[in-house]
Structures are given as C-alpha cells and as structure tokens.
Homo-oligomer: A and B are copies of this chain.
Amino acid sequence: MRVEIWSDIACPWCYVGKARFEKALDAFPHRDQVEVVHRSFELDPHRAKGDTEPVLKMLSQKYGMSGAQAQAGEENLRVQAAAEGLAYRAEGRDHGNTFDLHRLLHLAKEQGRQDALIQILYRANFADERSVFADADTYLVELAVEAGLDADDARKVLADPQAYADEVRADEREAAQLGANGVPFFVLDRKYGVSGAQPAEVFARALTQAWGDRPPLRLLQDEDASAEACGPDGCDVPPAG
C-alpha cells in the first residue's frame, strides 16, 4: 500500500500532521508493507526567492491579523506540536519561498533519503533558531548532508533553478487534480484521501479501511493469449512459427 503526503515545509499543520500520521502508521499491523512518499505543495508559490520576512509580520500583513491574533495562533500551534513531542518556536521564525526546499526533497527522493530530509527541514524550520531562508544555499547544503546526501549534489541542485523544477510542478498539478486545496493532504493508494492534520485515530481508520479494501487483482489479457512467461517449471515455448 502506498501513502502519498502532500505538504510544504512552511506549513505548521504539515509538521504536526506528519507526526500524527506516523503515530497511526507505527501501530498499523501491516506497517512494513506501507510505502510513504512525500509530494511537493507550495503554500506561497508566488513569493520571490529571497523575499523572507518574520512569520508574525507575514500573518499580520497577508491575512490582516492583529499582532496578538498572530501570536495567539502561533502559540496554539506550539501547544499542538508539543502534544506530538515536537519542538516549535512560536516567535522569531521566518517565512519565505520553499521552492528550493522542494527541489532538494526531490533529489533526496531519488536517493532514498526523502523522509530523512523532510524530517530535518521541518526541525530546522520550526524548532531551530537559524532560518532556513537566510543564507539558504549554504545552510541547505549542510542540512542535506545531515540527511545523507552528497554536498556537491545538493549544491548543484540549488545552483540550477531548473533541477527538479518539473518534478515539483508535477506534484503540484497532481494535488490540484486530486482536489487538494490545502496541506497536509494524505492519499492512500490513490483511492482514499485525508485532508489536514487529523487525529491519529482518523489516520488509523483510513489505513485499516484502505488496506481491507484493496481490490483483488483483475487480469487484463485475452483468455487465449499464450502466456509467454517463465515460472519454476521453466519458460513457455511458443508454437514454432
């Protein structure tokens, strides 16, 4: 079974929702037969690279929140994160363009390090003091190396804005096709969706339902087509032409 998770590194509910999903997944009896894939979704795709500002300021300016409202929202997220054992800085975080982070996550995916890197990027963005958006190219290479990537590989991807750009865009197109307007968005076997950082119980139910509901495989071929296959008893020999 495959679970795809659309998310953005700048999305607090994605950070919290991943932990809630993983709580359900860890307790799922068929856990070793579940593959998890992370997919890209930018919350703020039109923000220019380098256009970085404090989260609290962005919340006030973009969404018209008062300073107190913005701070209360962040504080609430800190509490929700703490309930999942996650550190969260309710003050002093930055907001910025995440396109490069997604491109790097696609490099990591190709090298089997995607989950390691997304975990590290979440921690860096939500828990650590240093901003992933300031002096990003140097810092992102350090974080990529921490996830097991090669520094040169990461540097090359960051230096070439086209590297993995199509992969990020393709993920975002698919999210739109699947009807995802926000993240986190979880898709199980391309059949069931779970939107938002739902409680772990909702994820547990979704995993159980999707698992139990896997259809029996339907063979699509002519009944009389010769198999032309190999098995433990040897290979089919087609009739001589």
A interface residues with partner B (beta carbon < 8 Å): 1-2, 8, 11-14, 16-17, 32-33, 43-44, 59, 62-63, 72-73, 76-77, 79-80, 109-112, 170, 174, 178-179, 181-185, 187-199, 202, 205-206, 209-210, 214-215, 217-222, 225-238, 240-241
Contacts and interface: CB of A to CB of B under 8 A. Distances in A.
A230 to B, nearest CB: 4
A194 to B, nearest CB: 6
A57 to B, nearest CB: 14
Contacts of A184: 229
Q: How many copies does the complex hold?
A: 2
Given A72-B240, A112-B111, A194 B221 contact: yes
A91 to B, nearest CB: 16
B237 A220 contact: no
A230 B11 contact: yes
A233 B76 contact: no
Given A76-B237, A192-B217, A205-B220, 8 more contacts: A8-B230, A13-B229, A16-B228, A17-B229, A59-B234, A72-B237, A193-B217, A202-B221
A228 B110 contact: no
B32 A230 contact: no
Contact of A111 (B111, B220, B236): B111
Contacts of A228: 13, 16-17, 80, 196-198
Contacts of A192: 217-220
Given A190-B189, A236-B13, A43 B231 contact: yes
Nearest to A215: B191
A190 B214 CA distance: 8
Contact of A218 (B191, B219, B238): B191
A238 B12 contact: no
Nearest to A226: B196
Q: Which of A179, A188, A225, A237 has most chain B Cβ within 10 Å?
A: A237
